[in-house]
A = this chain, B = another copy of it.
Amino acid sequence: MWISTRGQYGLRALVELAQTNTLMPIHKIAERQDISLHYLEQILATMRRAGFVQSERGATGGYRLARDAKKITALEVIVALEGSLAPVACVEDSSQCSHVNACGTESLWRRVDATITGILGSYTVADLLEEARFQNALKMMKSQAPLE
């Protein structure tokens, strides 16, 4: 498991926020997604500074998406919360490779990196919300169908 809970929770929180455009307080997201409130607070703070969400303080405060869910990719979010996704150090910084002879593995790692970046860059928060709704609809149908 090389994506930490910060990235996972962050993405899931954005999916939750994408369901509405009204303000949602942290505790609501936390309980719906079963995440520690204080921990989620820190994650949302990072995502606010990164420009994914906006907040309003005070009694009726909370969070909302700062821009359209279609304009936020999973890649941006994960990178903002976790830093580089490079599988090995020399991919993110080629000066790391102090090697005189070529080791033969660099192109493999570069391909892994590029592929992951491509996949994560192709998923938006809107896509994830759609997927969540689809999966929940499936679950409803199954639990509602004791005929057979």
Contacts and interface: CB of A to CB of B under 8 A. Distances in A.
Contact of A2 (B12, B87, B107, B136): B87
Contacts of A107: 131
Contact of A128 (B74, B105, B129, B139): B105
A92 B132 contact: no
A42 interface: no
Interface residues of A, number: 45
**Residue of A8, A33, A84, A104 with highest tally of chain B CB at under 10 A:** A104
Given A2-B87, A99-B34, A104 B120 contact: no
A132 B116 contact: no
Contacts of A132: 101-104
